[in-house]
């Protein structure tokens, strides 16, 4: 990935963190998810 794209992604994540950070979101862990299906080889997940 180009450096410019990396910076853009980090800035975007920061923007969302600033916006949603105050809401005290519960972070999602892998153990919160269960794979329930596949579409075109790509997994479909559900929150447990």
Binding site for other proteins (CB under 8 A): 9, 12-13, 16, 18-20, 22-28, 32, 36-37, 39-40, 42-48
Q: By C-beta, is 4 or 26 nearer to other proteins?
A: 26
Smallest gap from residue 32 Cβ to other proteins (A): 7
β-pair partners for 27: none
Residue of 1, 48, 4, 2 whose CA lies nearest to 26: 48
What is the C-alpha to C-alpha distance for residues 13 and 21, in angstroms, rounded to an integer? 11
Least separation in angstroms between residue 4's CB and other proteins is 14
Token pair of 6 as six digits = 């990396």
């Amino acid at each position: 990935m180009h450096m410019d794209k990396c910076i853009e992604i980090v800035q975007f994540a920061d923007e969302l963190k600033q916006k949603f950070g105050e809401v005290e979101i519960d972070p999602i862990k892998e153990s919160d998810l269960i794979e329930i299906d596949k579409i075109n080889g790509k997994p479909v997940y559900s929150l447990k």
